[in-house]
Amino acid sequence: MSGLLETKSLTIGYSQSAGTKILQQDLSLSIAKGETISLMGQNGVGKSTFIKTISGLIPALGGEVFIQNQKISALSKNEMARSMSVVLTEKPYAQNLTVLELIAIGRHPYSGWMGTLNQKDLEVIEWAINETHINYLANHKIFELSDGQLQKVMIARALAQETDLIILDEPAAHLDLYNKIEVMMLLRKIADQGKGVLISTHDLQVSTQLSDKLWLFNFNEEVKIGTPEDLILDGSLEKTLYLEGYGYDMMYGTVENSRKPKGNISVAGPDKEKFWTIQALKRNGFLVKNKADVQIDIRNEKWYILQKSGENVCNSISELLDLLKISYQNLK
Amino acid sequence: MISQFLEESKSKWKKLFLILTGLLFLFLIISVSLGSVSISPEGLAQYLISGTAGSDSWDMILSNFRFPKAITAILVGAALSVSGLQMQTLFRNPLAGPYVLGISSGAGLGVAIAIFLGFYFGGILDMSGIGRSWLLVVAAAIGSGMVLGIISLAATKIKDSVTLLIIGLMFGAASGALVSILQFFSQAENIQAYVIWSFGSLGSLSWNELSIFIPIIFIGLISSILLSKPLNALLLGENYAISLGVNIKKNRLLIILNTAVLAGTVTAFCGPIAFFGIALPHLTRMLFNTTNHLLLTPLVMIFGATLMLIFDTIAQLPGMEATLPINSVTALFGAPFVIYLLIRKRNLNYTY
């Protein structure tokens, strides 16, 4: 296996004058070509420290990091820059650059003394712009961009650096659903071209739907490695994200309401309507069961409430909820 | 599509550089013809072609006063502007300038010590012109060189650029205090000599001094152009710059050394010329709407040189005997212009 990145019994943390603070130890992890990996864990567990350590920004407290079978301590800064690019959460300090100028800075490890770009550089820049579908932005200034556009531009800049490994810190943060999906598809495509993608994220959608593997960092525990589905089934993901107390529903990706249930309801109808009706009922503190005294039947985009006292018809979920609340209050 | 766009912008910038260089020469001509004695265009043309303007007094004025002064103005304008630009980008601070690390305060302290102590050792005021001006140059160079040494040492030890900035400010305050103490204990004529030095002057350099001044500034300007590439990477922030393979510590030291040599040399020969180094990078960014240092570095040099020539021409008060202090002229005419541009652009950050 050709590992793009490999860590061998790596210990990460900070050494301060007051003593060293070890965040994670004995990390033996590797990224292969074409792999997308999500690094997950709570705040303070060492995700950023890990990224800083493997990119050579801070020293390792123990163990070694290898990039394509070479120790990073033996690589020059320029060689590092040619094998690993990063997309950070911080915005670029200069806002008055054009998108094209910013992406061109990505060619820094390759361009000459004066930063002049040759034909190859131009081709790579053009390729990066095409891959990320930002041709229409090339002429814009950075301060004119939305968060989603800026994220794609920063990814294009990382692509222009032509590295086999791309590391992204929270690429989906601050993005709306549309932009998040676009960025996710883009990262998938980049990985399919044989690059390794490492993402540090809190986003379940990103981690479970995009990545081949998850690395779960926990406090005082060994790191968990596996496909997202395995880690969901054995409860590791739930544990890492500490969602147990809140009754996190791994199937639907929603948080169970901890309030005392108001009553049992069963729902029947077309899949889509049924799904969202159940969501609404759960949010409002009803328990959804297969059999219950109160039944909701969805037909022709109408909600029929069937109970012993009679039948009601509602035109929307909000009407349904109002009606149910009233009838349950009356019961008490 | 990209290469076509690049071609277009390249030809646009080429045109702009040609126009600016043309303007620089135009103002050079204007600057050397105006003054207490005006020199006719024909006389000047004749002087440039054959080496004589047709009259001994004109020849003397042109070769001994006007040209040295104009060359000084051009070099000082370019040097201060480019060092201001580099400091602003390095420290990510719009208030930074060539003197932000205490270079001019160090020079001021050196000069103050030379003037005030010189009084006790036989009196600097009695010295003849040449000896006295060289003494001041050496004193200022020692002063700024010492500050430069300490800051560079700190730069190799300290990770954070802002910490360096604060150390520089502290140096400025401390040397200012020492100068005040020296002034407190000295006599009126010494204080006057110091105050006149602190006004700044472009006209005190003869060819003798220029033979040292020109090569140092020239080397500094060339290094500035070579430092444009790492400065561009720094525009994304230090972490991005490191990920792009920039050796932050080395480049920071080089940038500091470069600006300190430029600003230190200017201060040693011409006194502390304030305002220009802070304001000019802003003016350039606002007028030409770019942050790309590959363009910005040559732009601030040419534009700074041109503007300094214009200010110097204004300071000469054409047709009159007196010359205004260059420090007052740059601030008096420059500040309203910067304010006007700021109000029009509304937000300084967007020009970064």
Cα atoms in the Cβ-side hemisphere of radius 13 Å centred on A145: 27
| Chain B contact present for A108, CB below 8 A | yes
The verdict on a CB contact (< 8 Å) between B1 and A81 is no
Question: Has residue A268 got a pLDDT over 60?
Answer: yes
Question: Has residue B155 got a pLDDT over 90?
Answer: no
pLDDT at B19: 94
Residue A144: closest C-alpha in chain B: B350
Burial grade of A156 (CB within 10 A; 0-12, 13-18, 19 or more): buried
| Chain A contact present for B12, CB below 8 A | no
pLDDT at B60: 81
- Taking Cα atoms as reference points, which of A256, A331, A263, A262 lies closest to residue A292? A263
Mean pLDDT (whole number) for B68-85: 94
pLDDT at B17: 93
Yes or no: say if B98 and B265 are a contact pair by the CB < 8 Å rule.
no
| Chain B contact present for A102, CB below 8 A | yes
The verdict on a CB contact (< 8 Å) between B239 and A129 is no
Rounding to the nearest 10 degrees, give the CA dihedral for residues A224, A228, A234, A235.
80
Question: Has residue B127 got a pLDDT over 60?
Answer: no
Cα atoms in the Cβ-side hemisphere of radius 13 Å centred on A141: 15
Cα atoms in the Cβ-side hemisphere of radius 13 Å centred on A109: 24
Mean pLDDT (whole number) for A163-175: 88
Residue B337 lies in a domain: yes
Residue B8 lies in a domain: no
Q: Which residues of B touch A85 (CB under 8 A)?
A: 243
CATH of the domain at B283: 1.10.3470.10
Q: Which of A50-59, A98-107, B154-163 has the lowest mean pLDDT?
A: B154-163
Question: Per-residue confidence at A95, pLDDT binned at 50, 70, 90?
Answer: confident
> Highest mean pLDDT range out of A96-110, B89-103, B110-124, B143-157?
A96-110
Task: Write down the number of H helices and E strands in chain A.
Answer: 11, 18
Residue B159 lies in a domain: yes
Q: Which long-range contacts (CB under 8 A, 24 or more apart) does B153-159 make?
A: B155/B249, B155/B252, B155/B253, B155/B256, B156/B249, B156/B253
The verdict on a CB contact (< 8 Å) between A85 and B233 is no
What is the C-alpha to C-alpha distance for residues A57 and B141, in angstroms, rounded to an integer?
A: 38
Provide DSSP, B213-224: HHHHHHHHHHHH
Global ipTM: 0.79
| Chain A contact present for B227, CB below 8 A | no
Question: Has residue A145 got a pLDDT over 50?
Answer: yes
Residue B316 lies in a domain: yes
Query: Number of structural domains, chain B?
Result: 1
Mean pLDDT (whole number) for A233-261: 65
Residue B323 lies in a domain: yes
The verdict on a CB contact (< 8 Å) between A161 and B244 is yes
Q: Give residue B187's domain range.
A: 16-351
Mean pLDDT (whole number) for A138-163: 90
Residue B4 lies in a domain: no
Residue A117, helix vs strand vs coil: coil
Mean pLDDT (whole number) for B2-29: 86
Question: Has residue A277 got a pLDDT over 70?
Answer: yes
Burial B222-246 (b: 16+ CB within 10 A, else e): ebbbebbbbbbbbbbbbebbbbbbb
Question: Per-residue confidence at B219, pLDDT binned at 50, 70, 90?
Answer: very high
Residue B297, helix vs strand vs coil: helix
Residue B264 lies in a domain: yes
pLDDT at A249: 60
Rounding to the nearest 10 degrees, give the CA dihedral for residues A20, A24, A27, A33.
-110
pLDDT at B161: 76
In chain B, % of residues over pLDDT 70? 92
The residue among B123 and B217 whose pLDDT is bigger is B217
pLDDT at A1: 47
With residue B20 as reference, give the H or E element that holds it. helix B2-33
Q: Nearest CA to CA, how far is B257 from chain A (Å)?
A: 19
User: Which of A57, A122, A141 is closest, CB to CB, to B242?
Assistant: A57
Question: Has residue B202 got a pLDDT over 90?
Answer: no
User: Is the C-alpha dihedral spanning A138, A143, A144, A148 positive or negative?
Assistant: positive
The verdict on a CB contact (< 8 Å) between B242 and A108 is no
pLDDT at A244: 56
Residue B41 lies in a domain: yes
Q: Where are the beta strands (DSSP E) in chain A?
A: 3-16, 19-27, 30-32, 36-40, 62-67, 70-71, 84-87, 165-169, 196-200, 213-216, 224-226, 248-249, 254-255, 264-268, 287-288, 294-299, 302-307, 310-314
